[in-house]
Chain A
Amino acid sequence: MSHLWQMTAAALASAVRAREVSALEVADAHLERALRWNDIGAFLHLEPEATRRRAREIDDQLDRREDPGPLAGVPVALKDNLCTRDMPTTCGSRMLETFVPPYDAHVVERLRQAGAVVLGKTNLDEFAMGSSTENTAFRPARNPHRPECTPGGSSGGSAAAVAAGLAPLALGSDTGGSLRQPAAFCGVVGLKPTYGLVSRYGLVAFASSLDQIGPLARSVDDAALLLEAVAGHDPRDATSSRWAVPSLRAAGSIEGLRVGLPREFLGDGLAPEVAAAVERAKSLLVEHGARAVDVSLPLTRHAIAVYYIVAPSEASSNLARYDGVRYGLRTEDETSSVDDMLAATRGEGFGREVKRRILLGTFALSSGYYDAYYGRAQRVRAAMRREMNEVFEHVDLLLTPTTPTAAFRLGEKLEDPLAMYLSDVLTVSANLCGVPALSMPCGRTADGLPIGLQWMAPRFGEETLFRAARAYESLAQAGSLWPPERAA
């Protein structure tokens, strides 16, 4: 039998429900593993006692012949921007270093209802702003495949935890690629669902119109299992959709599936190894009955510009609540007025990247600049949505690389924000258009770093998306890519 930490979530849940293994043993195996891999900085908080207590509850339920739910005893790691009643929720920021929310995020409630065991809170770029999990008040996360490389960001901790077997499942959030890019860099599956599919209640907002919570897992089925547990309407989120989530784990054929290859996502700027991996994936799919269709999304060239106006604008307003008045950090300096207290608190509490984005957003929304920046960006965004909808009249799915390159080194882009921003070039379109997009492994570079393949579907096209991803996974035998094992 394989190690518990190597098993899929689905296998763990059925073993726990069948009493082949206790939830406590499952939790202990993952806690032990998390400590052994502590140096990759995947977790910001582990509370082993709370985790074990919760696992025992699941075992007690089974003793009473109650069904704990589809995720019975499955450990789940949570990005530290998801509110948890019993653990800190820091967002990787000095501002919220000691903040423990008085409530659980919707997804956390849903996980508990499904029988999952929250393992801990994972590392991220401060307030989810970044692409490398280096913009943090605490410690950076590292890529389990090569510790000198980044796991990506901002959900870098969640992706690294799943990749190294510290957790079979994790939740992350994706505003411009924050979940898919780390999934690609760490060799796991990550989905940004259709906007509105998963309630954002309790997700600390970065850019409200783009943020979406999604699953990270080592297989397509496990990602579907986690999505099914957390998706669905929530009356506490006005943007939550009423769409009934279908079962996403049904097998199906890709015979006749029209797969669009948008030329703007496949042009210059791609690392040759990445381009070759996507080309191989396409050939394999075509070999098995899919139809490849060349398509074009010309407005993609504006995507980064639009994103870096819309996201910071919303962020500048969303982060205004951190003022030192009600919770979180308050400066200890003697200040002479409320305004001074507020300015000093925000000066101390936020890191450089967060300040940079607040400034960008404040500028873009200022009177006299609004029309030229925010207003215009929204108009281009609306045009991008129309263009995306039109493409999906001709194809069922789009296939692209997730990132132009494999994982870069820690510090490599830290001093060059623009270069960092450009690493989102292939992922931001899905957020701007509200469509679902999934990243999955499709081979490695010569250096042994994972390469990510991205599927995009029309809004609420998750069923087709999962069918295609599952088919590719089995054809290519492209399961999760395990990092090199280390000695105990």
Chain B
Amino acid sequence: MRATVLVGMEVHLQLRTQSKMFSRCPVRFGAPPNTLVDPVVLGLPGALPVPNRDAITMALSLATALGGTLAEVTRFDRKNYFYPDLPKGYQISQYESPLATGGAMEIVTPEGIKTIRLRRLHIEEDTGKNLHDDRRGLSRIDFNRAGTPLVEIVSEPDIATPEEARAYLNALRAVVSYLDISDANMQEGNLRCEPNVNLHIEDGGEPVRTPIVEIKNLNSVRNVERALRHEIERQLAEYREKGPAVAHEPRSTRGYDDDRDVTFLMRRKEEEHDYRYFPDPDIPPLTITEEWRAEAASRVPELPDAKRRRFMEEHGLGAYDAATLCRDRSTADYFEKVAAAGCAPKPAANWILTELNRHANERKVHVAELGLAPARLADLVGLVERGRVARRAAAQQVLPEMLETGARPESIVSELGLGQIDDTDVIREAARKAIAENPRAVADYRAGKKKAFGALMGFVMQETKGKANSELVRSVVQEVLEES
């Protein structure tokens, strides 16, 4: 038996606009319930929707970045259904004429780069939120989220493993972060993902297709992966139990239960709504003019893949370092500023990905948000490269002080007396002491245990409080060992 997994992704992304999709009401996260509402958002009688041009431009930029074909004329449609968090009894979405069609995303898999084709990209409005108070048997509704602009990106079922699904989401988030159009955070719900999954099973006779299942309630990339893993197993098990007859089961929607790591049935296809889509008569069709396209395109910066390739060619970085730097646009930009300040690119990348990253992670910010001017980092790396301060001292003493006080590295080095020791006499004295006090290590070294040399070097470094020039220490220790 051979089973091929087909996963397609539906991603909803909240755009970070000033105002809602169809009104001037402001958009914010975390405001007190029902404070970000107006007659349009609440669907009061007589209120009318007016499309938010900025939201459409953001969506056009995203579509351009993903290589989609932009519509010449796009239209909004009404998706009709009743739900308490849906104020008008319909959601304004796009059905027949989405903003863009086609396009693709590249993801990195263990087998190399893989292309995931995109089907369409369209705009819609978010709903409110139902808050259930089970203890008191009450439901409350917060309409702050209602009307927030959403972009829906639908992929073709080209994703073949849970890991690829994760890679797809991360790649999409990187593009979105570069465009600076959304926070794209799954925990906060500004990126939501509903994978569709089924299997094509070849098992002797006619190939069998399991019914497509859409999975909901996923609040992290990790859960997307776990839910898919579980769902693939479940569909396989169902096939083993029911055989080819499984193909005649209806499509369904399943929820993911995080605690138990299982998916559960929410509804079958025949229980789904007839949404009675029709063009929204309140919103005339929109012509996407040449100027508008150009404006959207001008907002598309160099994207992660292109930047990674350029960093490798222009700065001579390795693939891994380049890719890691490019995951976040502000970090990549920071690197370029450090390099532009005259710093050698490789040590610059190294410092950013190790030392700065560690501080950034501790503070839960991006590297660029540490408040360290790129030129200052270039200065520090320069001091190390020119042998003015030992790397270890630079990392452990100078950098924290720079982050703390914003002082220049030169002054910290001289204030703390960290200037590197290049005086061979001082080093030689320490080396002699090391040999005198570590007869065991000396014996080991002479017996061919090269590791013992490191211990001797470490002793010298300790004696000089880490300030000795490590290259000189190496040669001097060698020299003294040979003398004695």
Please give the residue numbers on chain A whose beta carbons come within 8 Å of chain B beta carbons, in ascending order.
81-83, 89, 91, 96, 99, 101-103, 105, 200-205, 207-209, 235-239, 313-314, 316-317, 319-323, 325-327, 338-339, 342, 362, 365-367, 370, 374
Contacts and interface: CB of A to CB of B under 8 A. Distances in A.
Given A201-B48, A317-B276, A321-B88, A239 B43 contact: no
A115 B44 CA distance: 27
B278 A320 contact: no
A426 B87 CA distance: 36
A320 B80 contact: yes
B472 to A, nearest CB: 74
Interface in B75-103: 78, 80, 82, 84, 87-90
Contacts of A321: 43, 45, 87-89
Interface stretch (B227-235, B281-289, B316-324): B281-289
A317 B78 CA distance: 8
A297 B276 CA distance: 32
Contacts of A322: 89
A323 B87 CA distance: 9
Contact of A96 (B45, B49, B139, B282): B45
B39 interface: yes
Given A102-B39, A239-B282, A239-B284, A327 B44 contact: yes
B46 A326 contact: no
A320 B49 CA distance: 16
Contacts of A317: 78, 80, 89-90, 276, 278
A323 B84 contact: yes
Contact of B39 (A96, A103, A367): A103
Given A238-B284, A367-B274, A326 B51 contact: no
Point out which of A209, A235, A238, A366 has the most chain B C-beta atoms below 10 A from its C-beta: A238
Contacts of B51: 238
Indicate the member of A89, A237, A317, A365 with the most B CB atoms within 10 Å: A317
A426 to B, nearest CB: 23
Q: Which 10 A-B pairs have the closest CB atoms?
A: A320-B89, A209-B281, A208-B281, A365-B276, A204-B45, A202-B46, A321-B43, A83-B46, A238-B50, A321-B88
Contacts of B90: 317, 320
A105 B44 CA distance: 12
A237 B50 contact: yes
A351 to B, nearest CB: 16
Contact of A325 (B45, B47, B84, B282): B84
A205 B46 contact: yes
A320 B282 CA distance: 15
A390 B274 CA distance: 39
B169 interface: no
Given A102-B39, A103-B39, A317-B90, A200 B48 contact: yes
B283 A238 contact: yes
Q: Is the interface of B mostly helix, strand, loop or mixed?
A: loop
A200 to B, nearest CB: 6
B45 A89 contact: yes
B11 interface: no
A342 B86 CA distance: 13
Contacts of A314: 281
Contacts of B48: 200-201, 236-238
A338 B278 contact: no
Interface of B: 39, 42-51, 78, 80, 82, 84, 87-90, 139, 141, 274, 276-278, 281-284
13 contacts: A83-B46, A201-B46, A205-B46, A235-B50, A238-B48, A317-B276, A320-B88, A321-B88, A326-B43, A326-B44, A327-B44, A366-B274, A374-B278
A83, A101, A316, A320: which has the most chain B beta carbons within 10 Å? A320
Given A91-B45, A101-B39, A317-B278, 5 more contacts: A103-B44, A202-B47, A205-B282, A237-B48, A339-B82
Contacts of B49: 238
B44 A201 contact: no
B383 to A, nearest CB: 58
Nearest to B38: A103
B101 to A, nearest CB: 21
Contact of B47 (A96, A201, A319): A201
A101 B43 contact: no
Nearest to A96: B45
Interface centre among B49, B82, B283 (most CB of A within 10 A): B82
Nearest to A365: B276
Contacts of B88: 320-321
A230 to B, nearest CB: 15
A324 to B, nearest CB: 9
Contacts of A323: 82, 84, 89
B234 to A, nearest CB: 30
A320 B280 CA distance: 14
A83 B53 CA distance: 27
B42 A326 contact: yes
A321 B88 CA distance: 4
A96 B44 CA distance: 11
A326 B47 CA distance: 14
Given A317-B89, A321-B87, A204 B46 contact: yes
B282 A238 contact: yes
A325 B141 contact: yes
A236 B38 CA distance: 12
A444 B110 CA distance: 88
B44 A102 contact: yes
Contacts of B50: 235-238
Contacts of B89: 317, 319-323
Nearest to A314: B281
A105 B47 CA distance: 9
A325 to B, nearest CB: 5
Nearest to B273: A367
A219 to B, nearest CB: 29
B84 A338 contact: yes
Contacts of A342: 82
Q: Which of A91, A99, A338 has the most CB of B within 10 A?
A: A338
Contacts of A316: 80, 276
A366 B46 contact: no
A365 B81 CA distance: 13
Contacts of A325: 84, 87, 141
Nearest to A204: B45
Given A238-B282, A366-B276, A101 B87 contact: no
Contacts of B282: 205, 208, 238-239
A203 B45 CA distance: 8
Contacts of A235: 50
B276 A203 contact: no
A239 B48 CA distance: 10
A374 B82 CA distance: 21
Q: Which of A236, A313, A362: most chain B Cβ within 10 A?
A: A236
